[in-house]
Chains A and B, each alone.
Chain A
Amino acid sequence: MRNRRNHTGLINGTASLISIALGLIFGFLLLLVFNASFAVSGFNNLMTTGFASSEKLAKVFYQSAPLLMTGLSVAFAFKTGLFNIGATGQYTLGAFFALMGVVQFRLPWWMGLILGMVGGALLGLIPGVCKALFNVNEVITSIMFNWIALFAVNLSINNMPLMLANAWGAINKDRTAALTSSKFMAYNPNATIPKAGLDKLLGSNYMNIGVFIAILVAVIIWIVMNRTTFGYELKACGYNRHASNYAGINAKRNIILSMTISGALAGIGGGLYYLSGTAQYTLVKSLLGMGFNGIPVALLASSNPIGTIFSALFVSYIQVGGDALQPEYSREIIDIIIAAIIYLSAFSLLMRGWIAKRLLRNQKDNTNMGDEAPAEPANEAESGVKAQ
């Protein structure tokens, strides 16, 4: 009876894999274009570096944790019919709240993560409220709040002397405190996410339990979306707001909740990254790419929370592989190649429609449909377009 579900999973999975393959082929072509003599070894590096050493594997995990969270944030909003393009702002505010927790209030790391979640949630709440109560498009509000968050955070950090690196023995104050500097460790030894011996195991400072926290959150989100009445309501609102309203579901409340949760997820991502001990928040005036990278992660996973785990790992893996293209390819070229691969991979959405059509055709050719034909063919074609 439930084979339809498995079917969808199969289609999504195949679509993602084909898209990835297409992206990689395109990436290889770019390698050829930019520096043909190193294209083969370069592609080899791109594909194998992530698994080549435990250190690199640690980096894959390290980068994938925040990516997974922002991807999850975007995917969650997608599932509920909203486009959270504000993940980067929520991520930034989450990072700030988390850092403030461990630096200013001397809290342990897990309290920092919770604060980060709160920060992201607050920033997600605003577009949610605007959308629900005043019907202001969440894309517009969340884009604007990206910048508001960025500058508010920079302003705040600038005015919190304790937060800056130079309060802890460094000479510069263009970034936040180094949480692993000896001076800071004496002040708050529990500020960074524990490594649980994994750093020794994999031989890299990058490694901590962050990626496992992120995976756990992804699983929880999957359960919420697919097993609870709350998830049922959220998805119903996402698919068809009118029908949900008609059925007595409080669509406005769900929009607000959905954006808030989406923001909270991105906020946790900010916390995971900046409490890792390796990264310091630098006071720059451009939006952080981590939030935007969540979009292809979500698309590649067809917004499935479990799929997000794999797509985040994949994107991170490709990024680590990309770094290994140096020095034969410059960093800018590498960024172009990686972006091309990731974004082509995110075409899985298109690919899914294509595969679904193929499968459907085969199926219909093999078995007659039994009962009546589905609606008017003309309409069917139309709705097919909409469905994509």
Chain B
Amino acid sequence: MSEYVIEMLNITKKFPGIIANDDITLQLKKGEIHALLGENGAGKSTLMSVLFGLYQPEAGEIKKDGEIVKINDPNDANRLNIGMVHQHFKLVEIFSVLDNIILGVEQTKNGFLQKKDARRKVMELSEKYGLQVDPDALIEDIGVGMQQRVEILKMLFRDNDILIFDEPTAVLTPQEIDELMQIMRNFAREGKSILFITHKLNEIMAVADRVTVLRKGKCIGTLDVADTDVDQLAEMMVGRKVNFSVDKAPSKPGEPALTVRNLMVGDKRHTKKKVNNVSFCVHKGEIVGIAGIDGNGQSELVYALTGLTKPESGVVYIGEHDITHNSIRERNDLGLSHIPEDRHKYGLVLDYTLAENLILKNYYTEEFQRHGFLRFDEMYRYSEELIRRFDIRSGQGSATVTRSMSGGNQQKAIVARELSLQPEVLIAVQPTRGLDVGAIEYIHKQIVAARDDRKAVLLVSLELDEVMSLSDRILVMYEGEIVAEVQGSSATAHELGLYMSGANRQAPMEVEA
């Protein structure tokens, strides 16, 4: 019997023009929590896809309990008792929890579903590991935390003993993260083996036994967590020393730039408001961060502020102007910039060139248009300037189709465009989502620079670290309401976590200005 339950030996997987996995070896011991660390694009997803039979590697082999196995599709992986909780849950929204768990392995008798045994098994598992779920609730009605538990139960129900967690903490509160860690430790004690994919160093230090670091498709090394520290891991991941803290001077808030009063946004399906009576103010020269777990009304708040949806009631001001009923274009012209949370859906026209995307918000101004005709020379001049200033890298410069650019450079292009509009107010939503450390540092610097340039910045992020390191003030959103306001310098993750989970809230605040 081999020491390892799963071994991926010398795996090489090539895509046109890129080696996604270059001679990577990953060995998972029975009963250990093994972290897989790497930035976006390091090759983690490709490696897992190989393990699940979605890709066939050009070289290398996979062993289960010391025996060479051939995995041609996810069904093979399932037969080898390998299960995975995906970063984006694979659940049928309109099915119940129980139906989702048994989906694909249903027991039938004469063509009819037999759910009784399944229900008993689910309840047993749920109790044994402390995974509380309501088996009859519909997925669309339960929170992300519980949805994740459903995904975990799906693996357990299939008797998987190799469990892969892909970025499982991204959607959880600090308290929920602690719970998840505890559950993972329980699994390991039971003899299950866990592969934990993440880019968060603290979590690895907290829970993992060993860690394998990938960088640009190469395996940098496998270490015992006990023998290493955060700085060493970060350096292995990025390839250089990393400075996590953001250098910034204390803010000097000026007059109000963005004022929101009693804003309400409804929900098509529920009577409960998505944004419930929200009031706050962002001043010139300050960064206000909004913390909260995904789905607590942050997106809807931003849509209402930027004009993508209409609020039910409430007032929004930019400076002195009431913009509640203005069009998106009018808001832009009044100095509102918006880095959207989904750069592919909102931020870019992916089939346009970089130059065309960089003028997406001001193509109609005199600078780029004459008698209805676009001024291409001006467009290219402007684009070259932004590429230089914001260090946007791409294959063919201004003429690159943005679809072919890397995520980091796509995001840089959006940041460049929005900041170059010389906005009064910048609303930045998840500005660094999916980016590598280098790009994150750069964008954070740009946001702080905008603040120091007397812009008002509203930062909405699901990354608590990001909110805490950038914000001068932090507002916490829970179920559509602002439940707390804390000073950025004095906030702790624990305190914010309590607000984010609804366990604690401040007395209703008076709105200033």
User: Direct contact between A and B in the complex (CB less than 8 angstroms)?
Assistant: yes
State the A residues within 8 Å of B (CB): 1-5, 227-230, 232, 235-236, 239-240, 242-250, 357, 360-361, 363-365, 369-381, 383, 387
Q: Given the complex, which residues of A lie within 8 Å of B399, measured CB to CB?
A: 1-5
Given A243-B346, A375-B407, A230 and B46 contact (CB-CB distance below 8 Å): no
Q: Is the CB of A378 within 8 A of B45?
A: yes
Residues of chain B lying within 8 A (CB to CB) of residue A243: 345-349, 360
Give the residues from 322 to 353 in chain B that come closer than 8 angstroms, CB to CB, to chain A: 327-329, 331-332, 338, 340, 345-353
Show 26 residue pairs from A and B whose CB-CB distance is below 8 angstroms, ordered by the A residue.
A1-B397, A3-B396, A229-B364, A229-B368, A229-B369, A229-B373, A229-B374, A236-B352, A239-B350, A239-B352, A240-B349, A240-B350, A243-B346, A243-B360, A247-B332, A357-B16, A361-B17, A365-B16, A370-B395, A371-B409, A372-B41, A372-B393, A373-B216, A374-B18, A376-B41, A376-B45
Given A229-B368, A239-B352, A244-B349, 6 more pairs with CB closer than 8 A: A4-B400, A227-B373, A229-B373, A373-B216, A377-B20, A378-B46
A221 to chain B, nearest CB (A): 15
B380 interface residue (CB < 8 Å to A): yes
The answer, among A232, A370, A387, for a CB contact under 8 Å with B356, is A232
Residues of B within 8 A of A (CB): 15-18, 20, 40-41, 45-46, 49, 216-217, 306, 308, 327-329, 331-332, 338, 340, 345-353, 356, 360-361, 363-364, 368-369, 372-374, 380, 393-401, 403-409, 436
Q: CB-CB < 8 A to A236: which residues of B?
A: 349, 352, 360
| Nearest-Cβ distance from residue A21 to partner chain B, whole angstroms | 25
- B353 and chain A: residue at smallest CB distance: A4
Closest 5 CB pairs of A and B: A364-B17, A248-B329, A371-B393, A4-B399, A248-B328
A247 near B360 with CB under 8 A, answer yes
Q: In the bound complex, do residue A229 and residue B372 qualify as a contact, i.e. CB atoms below 8 Å apart?
A: yes
> Which one of A4, A246, A373, A380 has the highest number of Cβ atoms from chain B below 10 Å of its Cβ?
A246
Contacts of B349 in A (CB 8 A): 235-236, 239-240, 243-244
Query: In the assembled complex, which residues on chain A have CB atoms less than 8 Å from the CB atom of B347?
Result: 243, 246
Check if A229 sits within 8 Å of B363, measured CB to CB: yes
User: Which residues from chain A contact B368 at a C-beta distance below 8 Å?
Assistant: 229
Chain A residue numbers with a CB within 8 Å of B397 are 1
In Å, the complex CA distance between A5 and B380 comes to: 14
Give A241 to B58 CA distance when docked, in angstroms: 40
Closest chain-B Cβ to A250's Cβ sits at a distance in Å of 8
A52 to chain B, nearest CB (A): 42
Which residue of chain B has the shortest Cβ distance to A361 in the bound complex? B16
Cβ of A123 to closest chain B Cβ, rounded Å:
26
A240 vs B364: C-alpha distance when bound (angstroms): 18
User: B115 to chain A: closest CB distance in Å?
Assistant: 34
When distances are taken between beta carbons in the complex, the residues of chain B under 8 Å from A363 are: 17
B361–A365 CB distance below 8 A: no
B41 close to A375 (CB less than 8 A): yes
Residues of A within 8 A of B353 (CB): 4
Take A232-B374, A236-B349, A375-B41 as given contacts and tell me if A245 and B16 are in contact as well, using a CB distance cutoff of 8 Å: no
Given known A4-B353, A4-B400, A242-B345, contact A360–B372 (CB-CB < 8 A):
no
Contact B361 A373 (CB under 8 A): no
| Cα–Cα, bound, A357→B15 (Å) | 11
State how many angstroms separate the Cβ of A320 from the closest Cβ of chain B: 36
Q: B400 contacts A230, CB within 8 Å?
A: no
Which A-chain residue is minimally distant from B44 (CB atoms)?
Answer: A376
Q: Taking A242-B346, A373-B41 as contacts, is the C-beta distance between A1 and B360 under 8 angstroms?
A: no
Contacts known (A229-B364, A243-B347, A376-B46); A369 close to B17, Cβ less than 8 A: yes
Q: Are B395 and A360 in contact (CB under 8 A)?
A: no
CA–CA, A4 and B70, complex, Å: 42
Report the minimal beta-carbon distance from A229 to chain B, rounded to whole angstroms: 5
Q: Known contacts being A243-B360, A246-B347, A365-B17, is A1 close to B396, with CB within 8 Å?
A: yes
Q: How far, in whole Å, are A364 and B399 apart by their CA atoms in the complex? A: 17
Q: Output the nearest chain B residue to A240 by Cβ-Cβ distance.
A: B349
Looking across the interface, which residue of chain A has its beta carbon closest to that of B410?
A375
A228 touches B20 (CB 8 A): no
| Given A232-B374, A246-B308, A247-B360, A381-B15 contact (CB < 8 Å) | yes
Q: Is the CB of B406 within 8 A of A375?
A: yes
Within the assembled complex, what's the spacing in Å between the Cα atoms of A373 and B38?
A: 14
Q: How far is the CB of A362 from chain B (nearest CB, A)?
A: 9
Asked if B398 contacts A1 (CB within 8 A), the reply is yes
Residue of A nearest to B392 (CB): A371
Complex Cα gap A246–B398 (Å): 22
In the complex, are the beta carbons of A371 and B352 less than 8 A apart? no
Residues of chain B within 8 A of A360, CB atoms compared = 16-17
CB distance from A156 to the nearest CB of B (A): 37
Nearest chain-B residue to A227 (Cβ)? B373
Chain A residue contacts of B401, Cβ below 8 A:
4
Given A375-B406, A378-B45, are A248 and B327 neighbors across the interface (CB < 8 Å)? yes
Q: Which residues of A contact B327 (CB under 8 A)?
A: 248, 250
Residues of B within 8 A of A380 (CB): 15
What residues of A have a CB within 8 angstroms of the CB of B306 in the complex? Answer: 246
B21 to chain A, nearest CB (A): 9
Residues of A within 8 A of B350 (CB): 239-240
Q: Which of B17, B49, B348, B394 counts the most chain A CB atoms within 10 A?
A: B17
Within the assembled complex, what's the spacing in Å between the Cα atoms of A369 and B19?
Answer: 12
Nearest opposing residue in chain B for A379, CB measure: B45
Give the chain A neighbours of B217 by CB distance below 8 A.
Answer: 373
- Chain B residues positioned under 8 Å from A357 (CB to CB): 16
CB distance from B438 to the nearest CB of A (A): 9
Residue of chain A at shortest CB distance from B348: A243
Cα distance, A4 to B397, chains bound together (Å): 10
Whether A248 lies near B18 (C-beta < 8 A) is no
A377-B374 contact given A240-B348, A383-B403, CB 8 Å threshold: no
B329: A residues at CB distance < 8 A: 248-250
Among B217, B306, B380, B401, the most chain A Cβ lie within 10 Å of the Cβ of B401
Min C-beta distance of B100 to chain A, whole Å: 23
Alpha-carbon distance between A239 and B46 when the two chains are bound, in angstroms: 29
A360→B395 CA distance, assembly (Å): 12
- Docked pose: A360 CA to B401 CA in angstroms: 13
**Candidates A235, A364, A374; contact of B405 at CB < 8 Å:** A374
Bound-state Cα–Cα, A236 to B332, Å? 18
Contact among B49, B338, B369, B372 for A378, CB-based, below 8 A: B49
Docked CA distance A250–B328 (Å): 9
Q: Which residues of A contact B398 (CB under 8 A)?
A: 1
> Which A residues are in CB contact (< 8 Å) with B436?
372
Contacts of A375 in B (CB 8 A): 40-41, 406-407
Q: Please name all residues of chain B whose beta carbon is closer than 8 Å to the beta carbon of A230 when the two chains form the complex.
A: 372
Beta-carbon contact of B406 and A371 below 8 Å? yes
> For the complex, what is the distance from the CA of A375 to the CA of B433, rounded to whole Å?
13
B338 engages A246 (CB within 8 Å): yes
Partner among A3, A4, A228, A235 whose Cβ is within 8 Å of the Cβ of B372: A228
In the assembled complex, the Cα of A364 lies from the Cα of B18 at a distance in Å of 8
A160 to B18, CA, bound (A): 69
Query: Which of A232, A246, A371, A383 touches B340 (beta carbons < 8 Å)?
Result: A246
- Taking CB as reference atom, which chain A residue is nearest B401? A4
Bound Cα distance from A220 to B49, whole angstroms: 49
- With A228-B372, A380-B15 as contacts: A373 and B328 at CB distance below 8 Å: no
Which of chain B's residues have a CB closer than 8 A to the CB of A361? 16-17
- When the two chains form their complex, are residues A247 and B396 in contact, meaning their CB atoms are under 8 A apart? no
Q: When the two chains form the complex, which single residue of B351, B380, B396, B406 contacts A372, counting CB atoms closer than 8 Å?
A: B406
Contact B328 A372 (CB under 8 A): no
Query: Which of A242, A249, A374 gathers most chain B CB within 10 Å?
Result: A374
Cα distance A252–B217 in the bound complex, in angstroms: 44
